[in-house]
Amino acid sequence: MTRPVIALPHAVGVVIETLERAGHTAWVVGGCVRDSLCGVTPHDWDLTTSARPDAMQKLFPKVRLTGVQHGTVTVIQDDMALEVTTYRGEGAYTDGRRPDTVCFLSRVEEDLARRDFTINAMAYHPMRGLCDPFGGREDLQAGLLRAVGDPDQRFTEDALRILRGVRFVAKTGFTIEPHTVYAMYRQMQRLVHIASERVFAELCTILTSRYTGRALRQYRAVLAVVLPELAPMFGLCQHNPHHCYDVWEHTVRTVEAIPAQPVLRWAMLLHDSGKPHTYTIDEAGVGHFYGHPKVSAELAHQILMRLHAPNALRTQVETLVEFHDHGIGQEERQVRRALAKHGEAVVRQLLAVKKADYTGQNTFPVHLQELQHTERLVNGICAQAPCLTLQTLAVDGYTMQELGLSGVSIGEGLRWLLTQVVEGQVPNEPEALRACASEWKESRDEG
Ligand code: ATP
Ligand code: MG
C-alpha cells in the first residue's frame, strides 16, 4: 500500500510541532485519521502525545482542563479546540463501564491498543506517516469492523463498544468481522449496565445514519438488549391486506423512508410497538391491531423516560406515535381542525410520519396521493395566516366580560368561538364574534 498523506489543519501542525520541540512525541489519532483515509472531512481532530497534562499546560497559553485525570486537555489554537490526550492504558474494569484507573504510557502503540476497533486505532504524523499496528488501514479498505485484540475481553471491559460497533455499521455500512460479531452476541447482555444517556446518544446516531436500515435489520438482537420492547415485533406476521411485511420489516422501512431527524426516526421506530400487544384475528383470518397507537405511545413514553431522552424529544415522539393512524382529512374543514388541535409544525411532522408509514406498507399507493392532497390543503390554509388559536382570535376575555360573562364561562365562551372560526361557521372579526358570543350566552342562560 502507498504511504498515505493526510492534510492537517495548520493549528494541528502547530500543536504537534510545539510538543515535539519540547522533547515529546505527538500524533493525530482515532476518528480523524479514519475519516481522512476514506476521504471524509473529519468533524474534529484529536491528538495523542507522550506529554503529561502538566507539561501541556506549560507549553500552551490557552488550555482547558477537560479531563486531566484521564490525561486530556483541550488546547485552543487559532480558534480551534483540540483534544490532546496523554498516551494511556486502562486498568481493570470492575463495573463494565469505565476503567478503575488509567496509567500514562510512553509509546503510541500502547495507546492504540486500548482503542475499540482497528479502524479507530491508527495514528498519523506529518513526517513519520501512519502508525497502524493492528491493520486498520487494510480493514478500512475492506470495509471491515474488527475489535482490537481479544473481542470478548474488549467488550467485557466496556460494553458500550458493542453499541459503537452497531453505530459504525449504521454510519459506514461496514461488515463486522466474524470473531467480533460472535463476541458481540456473547457479551451483549452487559449493555444493560451502560449509562442510559450514552446508550441514547448511540441509538440516536444509529437511527439517523446512512445505513440505518442495515443496522436495524442485522443487529436487531443487540438493539433489543437496550430496547426489549422491540423484540415482540420481530417476525410478527400481520395477516392483513394492508401489510405485505412483518411488523419489524415494516418498521425498518418506515424509518428508512422518513427524513433523518431524531424525533421522526424515533417516532417511526416505535409507532407500531403496541401492535404485538393488541393483535387479534377475526373469523375471516384477518389480523387487527385496534388501539395500537395509544399502546405504542405509552411504550414510547416508558422507553424514552428510561433512556433519559430530552423531554422535548420525548413528548414530540409520543404525540406523533399516538396520532400516526389518525386521518388528517381530505376536506379543508378537517385540516383546519387538525391544525387547530396540533399546530402547523406537528401537522407537518404527522404528514411525514403518515407518508413514511404508507411507503413502508408498500400496498396502496392511493393513500400517498390522498396525503399529497392533504398537504396542499395545509399549505393553502397556512398561507392565509388563519386563526387557529385563542391568541389570534379577534376578541378576548374583556369582550366576553362586556357581554356579561364572568369566571370560567369566559374561557368556555372563547373556546366555543374558536371552534366556530376553525369550522368556518363565523369569520374571525370582532362584530361577528360578538354577535356569535351573545347567541351562545343566551342559549346557555336558557339551558
Ligand atoms: P465520531 O466520528 O463519531 O466522533 P470517533 O471514532 O471519533 O467517531 P469518539 O467517540 O470521538 O469516536 O472517540 C474517539 C476515539 O477514541 C475513537 O476513534 C476510538 O479510538 C477511541 N474510543 C472512543 N470510545 C471508545 C471506547 N468506548 N473504547 C475504546 N476506544 C474508544
Ligand atoms: Mg470523534
Which residues, listed in sequence order, are joined to residue 75 by a DSSP beta bridge? Answer: 63, 82
Pocket probe for ligand 1: among 116, 122, 180, the residue whose CB has the most ligand atoms within 8 Å is 116
pTM of the model: 0.91
Q: Judging by DSSP bridges, how do beta strands 280-281 and 72-77 pair with one another?
A: unpaired
Rounded to 5°, the CA angle 292-251-182 comes to: 120
Torsion angles phi and psi, residue 273, rounded to 5 = -65, -20
Grid look-up 442485522 returns 218
**Closest ligand 1 atom to the C-alpha of 161?**
27
Give the CA count within 13 Å in the CB-facing half-sphere of 439. Answer: 10
**CA 44 / ligand 2 centre spacing (Å):** 6
94-135 confidence digits (pLDDT tens): 655 567 778 999 999 999 999 999 999 999 999 999 999 999
Using the mean position of ligand 1's atoms as its centre, give its distance from the Cα of residue 120 in Å.
7
Cα 117 to middle of ligand 2, angstroms: 13
Smallest CA separation from ligand 1 atom 5, residue: 31
User: CB-based burial of residue 350 (10 Å sphere; 0-12 exposed, 13-18 middle, 19+ buried)?
Assistant: buried
Round to whole Å and give the CA distance between 184 and 163: 9
The ligand 1 atom at the shortest distance from the C-alpha of residue 160 is 27
* Atom of ligand 1 at shortest range from CA of 157: 28
Taking the centre of ligand 2 as the mean of its atom positions, its distance from the CA of residue 182, in whole angstroms, is 26
Ligand nearest to the CA of 29: 1
C-alpha–C-alpha distance, residues 242 and 330, integer Å: 20
Amino acid of residue 61: P
- H or E segment at 103? strand 102-104
In the chain, the largest separation of any two C-alpha atoms, in whole Å, equals 94
Q: Encode pLDDT of 216-244 as tens digits.
A: 999 999 999 999 999 999 999 888 888 88
* Spatial CB neighbours of 431, under 8 Å, sequence gap ≥ 6: none
Q: How far is the CA of 220 from the centre of ligand 2 (A)?
A: 25
CA 172–ligand 2 middle distance (angstroms): 15
- Measured at the CA of 388, the angle between CA 383 and CA 390, to 5 degrees, comes to 140
Cell 404525540 sits on residue: 319
Measured CA angle at 414 (ends 381, 338), to 5 deg: 30
Q: Which of 293, 303, 148 has the alpha carbon at shortest distance from 223?
A: 303
Query: Looking at the CA of 171, which ligand is closest?
Result: 1
The 8-class DSSP code of residue 233 comes to G
Which ligand has its closest atom nearest to the C-alpha of 97? 1
Separation of 26 CA from ligand 1 center, angstroms?
18
Ligand 1 midpoint to CA 3 (Å): 24
> Tell me: the pLDDT tens digits for 296-320?
999 999 999 999 999 999 999 999 9
Closest residue by Cα to atom 2, ligand 1, is: 31
Counting ligands in written order, the one closest to the CA of 33 is 1
Residue from 120, 162, 197 to probe ligand 1 pocket by mutation (most atoms less than 8 Å from CB): 120
Contact assessment for residue 115 and residue 80, using Cβ atoms and an 8 Å cutoff: no
For 74, the 3-state DSSP assignment is strand
Using CB distances shorter than 6 Å, the residues near ligand 1 are 30-31, 46, 115-116, 120-121, 158, 160-161
Q: How far is CA 417 from CA 413, 432, 438, in A?
A: 6, 10, 11
Question: What CA–CA distance (Å, rounded) separates 257 from 359?
Answer: 7
Ligand with minimal distance to 115 CA: 1
Return the ∠ at Cα 10 (arms to 5 and 11), rounded to 5°. Answer: 120
Q: Measuring CA to CA, which residue among 358, 314, 350, 313 is closest to residue 334?
A: 350
Helix (H) or strand (E) holding 80: strand 80-86
The C-alpha atoms of residue 216 and residue 169 are separated, in whole angstroms, by 10
pLDDT tens per residue across all 447 residues of the chain: 788 999 999 999 999 999 999 999 999 999 999 999 999 999 999 999 999 999 999 999 999 999 999 999 999 999 999 999 999 998 666 655 567 778 999 999 999 999 999 999 999 999 999 999 999 999 999 999 999 999 999 999 999 999 999 999 999 999 999 999 999 999 999 999 999 999 999 999 999 999 999 999 999 999 999 999 999 999 998 888 888 899 999 999 999 999 999 999 999 999 999 999 999 999 999 988 999 999 999 999 999 999 999 999 999 999 999 999 999 999 999 999 999 999 999 999 999 999 999 999 877 788 899 999 999 999 999 998 787 888 889 999 999 999 999 899 999 999 999 999 988 889 999 999 999 999 998 988 887
CA distance 156 to 158: 5
Residue having the nearest C-alpha atom to atom 10 of ligand 1:
31
337 Cα: distance to centroid of ligand 1 (angstroms) = 48
Classify 71 in phi/psi space as left (phi over 0), alpha (psi -120 to 50) or beta. left
List, as one string, the DSSP characters of 262-322.
Answer: HHHHHHHHHTTTTHHHH-EE-TTS-EE-TTHHHHHHHHHHHHHHHTT--HHHHHHHHHHHH
End-to-end CA distance of the chain: 89
Return d(Cα 11, Cα 66) in angstroms, integer: 19
Pocket test for ligand 1, best of 29, 115, 172 (most atoms within 8 A of CB): 115
